[in-house]
Structure 1
Amino acid sequence: MAADDGDPTKFAAISSSSSPLLSKPSTSALDSPRRSSDPESDPTQFLQISYNFGPRPFKDVAFLLLFDLFVFSTFGFGVFSVFHRNTDYGDSSSFSYDLASTSCLKVSTFTRFSNSYWSDPVFEKDLIWTLVVTLILSAPFCFLVLLLLKHYTKQIVYACLPLFVLFPIFFNVYWFVACTLSSSCSDALPLAYRVLLLVFVFLIVGVIVWIIVANWHRIELTIQIIGVASDALSKNLKLFVVLPLLILGLVVYYAPIVVFLVFARFNGEFVPREVDGDEYVCEWKEDSWVPAYYALAIITMIWSLAVMVEMQVYVISGAIAQWYFSKEDSMPKKCIRSSLRNAFGQSFGTICLSGILVGVVRVVRAIVDNAREENPQGIVNFALRCCANALLGAFDYLNKFTINFAAITGESYCTSAKMTYELLRRNLLSAVFVETVSTRILTGIVFVLSAAYAVATWAVLRGVSSLGVDSYLVAILAWLLLTVVLAFFVHVLDNVIDTIYVCYAIDRDKGDVCKQEVHEVYVHLPISRSTRSALIPNALNA
């Protein structure tokens, strides 16, 4: 054994196949064999990766310019559509066909339209007040959930797990009994359909139970991951101000584009169309450039939405990474501001590239799903769908942590994707799996809390208002609003978990420990190559 331990060839083989350890090697003998064993590897993968606090160069400038071109073209042609509009749009009764000029001429007419609207002032008042109160309470509600997840993660998770099953069962039985007792509901929905829907919901509950049982051995690890992420997010509470402002900014940005799309329809003229023999009618014909503008504006809106989502991920990752790589007794000042500055500055081209790729993938996936529903048969269609799903899966595999890495290092999109893959591969970490159970549990907690709020809202409305059956609808809308807000909270927490995972991988790669509490949790995550995991203890013993 002593002779084997001293064999430099065997030591090089072991060190080249094992992952970087959590403690920094005392000599450089560990690195040189690993580098020489893989001469074709990219040298950049062995650089000491860390958060780039210094000035960053502009990356992916071409996509920044392309995005700006789309935006300026959308707004430029939109302004043109407003000033070039035809004020006679929609007034076809004012035009008649003139036989002498073979064109449509405007005649003097006067048309009056009268519309009557029915509304229920009691329903509208209670609905508006309920939604306003829900929106106001949603902010402290999110902070309360974050506080509970930070300090009482285990208690919250184990208390909500039974409710994942009991709440659907309760609502399923309740609506079935209520619909059976109501003559109007039972007439509209026959007994056979009610039973079928009842059984279908129970099948869904059975699937939920199976998921919980199958992943029970990972519940404890999930609890620790959620606790660590909640603690990191609590150190960056300003994110809950910045991220909603980004959404509000997107809404404000969308408003003029929607106006331009409306006014684009007003660009055209009335032209004659032959109907029966020598009879002609005047109909509206849009200018030839209007459909192209619609396509341009819709592409710009989809791309802008994807850019906003990726920018949120970038800002979250930048702020959390600065917290992670800071000293225990200090917190970087203006970390969110610096992350925003990088997002709107040097890395905006990277975010634009990521946004257009994500947008294209979402559109392609929607087309594939729609094609499967419309024409599910045929070996050619099946093969094309398989190829498309394989390509989309490959993109998800490479794109999983790319923006997180770009926010940390300031690298370009392609470089970040490559270095992230190499970073995780070297450290035997998965590029697609962090802990999916945490997302499912957080989603279940959102469902339980929002459902409890909806029940409380319904009880209050039944006691203080005269809505009657409409109180169910108001409670459902309040439930939807709170679910959307809490789902956004879960989205932020998921990105925090992903960012910490990348930071943990960087620590492993450097042989460093910046946050001991993170290493104590994330070290239990499964590795991507189980057959090579046995080499780690051997390397430690060596």
Structure 2
Amino acid sequence: RIVVLVFVFLVIGVIVWILVLNWHRVELTVSIIGVASDALSWNMGLFGVLPCLTVGLVVYYVPIVVFLVFAKYNGKVVPKKLHSEYDCVWKEDSWVPAYFALAILTMLWSAAAMVEAQVYVISGTIARWYFSKDFETPTKTIRTSLRNAFGPSSGTICLSGLLIFVVRLVRSVVDNARQEGAPGLVNIVLRCCVNALLTAVDFLNKFTINFAAITGEAYCTSSRMTYELLRRNLLSAVFVETISSRLLVGIVFVLSAIYTIVACVILKAATNLGSDAYFVAAIAWLLLIIVLGYLVHVLDNVIDTIYVCYAIDRDRGEVCKQDVHEVYVHLPISRSLRQSNITRTLGV
């Protein structure tokens, strides 16, 4: 027990030390999170709509699972020789394995598409708030985003979900190959290239679905326009994507660890649960991780959406939300894009 507590406090200490060393970035990230929290406070209905979408996905799964169960009953009894004797065994029809594979792939694709649909709804809702005037309160923002997500932009969401599903599938295959320890320099280089490509696709797709929700453009058009938008404005998407996500994850870990330790101490002091107190504390930690993880997921998408909205504002030379510009103006300029612009200027 003492070793576990020492390990937990050691990890917390390392996280705090990293935060202190990068405090200038932490301050900017905290300001970005504050802006996103303010935007989310104007659209609290998202916390009710997003779980409903998840419930809808579960309801969608029910008939698929039922059909999978009944598919097992399609076949016939055939004789089979076992140890010099014949016995009767059940043989499924030839189409059953193919149906199982198709159903499982459909469920996985649907799950990925639902995640993208949630991102689309968040982005569309926050974008309507961002581009509204300060003295006006946008109405029916969530309803409009839902109608667009499952209407004109449903193809964009399905394509985005398919790409994410393929990326996850290929990455899983690569990870399995790495665990098997396939020798050879070629395999190592190939894995590095594949991981770099998958990371780039995953990263670009994240901002593409945000842009598609804001503008209503098709997926390929949104992908190209997103890249051009960020390139023209020299904005570092890596800072927003990486630093904010890591900080939020670190906050969740620290809060959940402190909460678990306090809960365990209280249970040991005020109850007679004995060793069961650790089990109760672990359950409390798991529930808190789920709740905070859900909040971080929503807040992270809000941050990305405001980031794209700010880039659109900057591209047009407009200021729709002054408080957002006061924070996002301190974002670092992308080094690669800055170097390309310098080279282009020198060439001219």
Whether TM exceeds 0.5 here: the answer is: yes
- If asked which structure has higher relative contact order (CA below 8 Å, sep 6+), I would say 1
The aligned residue for residue 345 of structure 2 is: none
Asked if the contact 1:318–1:339 (Cα under 8 Å) also holds between the matched residues in 2, the reply is: yes
How many residues are matched?
343
Tell me the CA shift for residue 175 of structure 1: 5.2
1:416–1:265 Cα change, 3 Å: same
2:87 counterpart SS class = strand
CA distance in structure 2 between the partners assigned to 1:390 and 1:343 by the alignment: 30
Tell me the CA shift for residue 209 of structure 1: 5.2
CA distance in structure 2 between the partners assigned to 1:429 and 1:402 by the alignment: 15
1:175–1:209 Cα change, 3 Å: closer
The aligned residue for residue 69 of structure 2 is: 262
Q: Deviations over 1:225-271 (max 9, x none)?
A: 11111100001000001011111111222222222222322222332
The aligned residue for residue 246 of structure 1 is: 53
CA distance in structure 2 between the partners assigned to 1:465 and 1:204 by the alignment: 29
The aligned residue for residue 173 of structure 1 is: 3
1:467–1:286 Cα change, 3 Å: farther
The aligned residue for residue 451 of structure 1 is: 257
1:290–1:420 Cα change, 3 Å: same
The answer to whether residue 31 in structure 2 is matched with residue 224 in structure 1 is yes
When the two structures are superposed, what TM-score results if normalisation uses the length of structure 2? 0.90
CA distance in structure 1 between the partners assigned to 2:4 and 2:181 by the alignment: 38
CA distance in structure 1 between the partners assigned to 2:20 and 2:271 by the alignment: 43
1:484–1:306 Cα change, 3 Å: same
CA distance in structure 1 between the partners assigned to 2:263 and 2:21 by the alignment: 35
Describe how 1:124-523 pairs up with structure 2 within 5 A. 173-174=3-4, 208=15, 211-277=18-84, 279-434=85-240, 436-459=242-265, 461-462=267-268, 466-523=272-329
The aligned residue for residue 23 of structure 1 is: none
1:417–1:361 Cα change, 3 Å: same
Asked if the contact 2:256–2:285 (Cα under 8 Å) also holds between the matched residues in 1, the reply is: yes
Q: Which amino acid letter does the alignment assign opposite residue 263 of structure 1?
A: F
CA distance in structure 1 between the partners assigned to 2:337 and 2:298 by the alignment: 34
Q: Which amino acid letter does the alignment assign opposite residue 228 of structure 1?
A: V
In structure 1, list runs of 5 or more residues that go unmatched: 1-170, 177-197, 537-542
Asked if the contact 1:400–1:431 (Cα under 8 Å) also holds between the matched residues in 2, the reply is: no
CA distance in structure 2 between the partners assigned to 1:397 and 1:441 by the alignment: 18
Q: Which amino acid letter does the alignment assign opposite residue 299 of structure 1?
A: L
1:497–1:414 Cα change, 3 Å: same
Q: Deviations over 1:190-222 (max 9, x none)?
A: xxxxxxxx6xx7885675356324422211111
1:530–1:256 Cα change, 3 Å: closer
Tell me the CA shift for residue 446 of structure 1: 1.8
Q: Which amino acid letter does the alignment assign opposite residue 286 of structure 1?
A: E
Q: Which amino acid letter does the alignment assign opposite residue 208 of structure 1?
A: I
Q: Deviations over 1:364-399 (max 9, x none)?
A: 111101110112422232232123113213312431
Tell me the CA shift for residue 322 of structure 1: 0.6
CA distance in structure 2 between the partners assigned to 1:531 and 1:217 by the alignment: 23
Asked if the contact 2:109–2:162 (Cα under 8 Å) also holds between the matched residues in 1, the reply is: yes
Tell me the CA shift for residue 526 of structure 1: 1.0
Tell me the CA shift for residue 474 of structure 1: 2.2
Identity of aligned residues (%): 70
Asked if the contact 2:46–2:142 (Cα under 8 Å) also holds between the matched residues in 1, the reply is: yes
In structure 2, list runs of 5 or more residues that go unmatched: 343-348
Asked if the contact 1:323–1:332 (Cα under 8 Å) also holds between the matched residues in 2, the reply is: yes
CA distance in structure 1 between the partners assigned to 2:133 and 2:20 by the alignment: 40
Q: Which moved more, 1:213-222 or 1:338-347?
A: 213-222
Q: Which amino acid letter does the alignment assign opposite residue 230 of structure 1?
A: S
CA distance in structure 1 between the partners assigned to 2:336 and 2:155 by the alignment: 38
Q: Which amino acid letter does the alignment assign opposite residue 214 of structure 2?
A: I
Tell me the CA shift for residue 429 of structure 1: 1.2
> What's the Cα RMSD here?
2.6
1:401 counterpart SS class = helix
Asked if the contact 2:229–2:311 (Cα under 8 Å) also holds between the matched residues in 1, the reply is: yes
Tell me the CA shift for residue 331 of structure 1: 1.5
Tell me the CA shift for residue 449 of structure 1: 2.8
CA distance in structure 1 between the partners assigned to 2:184 and 2:130 by the alignment: 52
Q: Deviations over 1:411-451 (max 9, x none)?
A: 00000000000011011113444252222222222223333
Q: Which amino acid letter does the alignment assign opposite residue 224 of structure 1?
A: S
1:524 counterpart SS class = coil
1:238–1:272 Cα change, 3 Å: same
Asked if the contact 2:80–2:89 (Cα under 8 Å) also holds between the matched residues in 1, the reply is: yes
Asked if the contact 2:234–2:337 (Cα under 8 Å) also holds between the matched residues in 1, the reply is: no
CA distance in structure 1 between the partners assigned to 2:69 and 2:292 by the alignment: 33
Asked if the contact 1:317–1:408 (Cα under 8 Å) also holds between the matched residues in 2, the reply is: yes
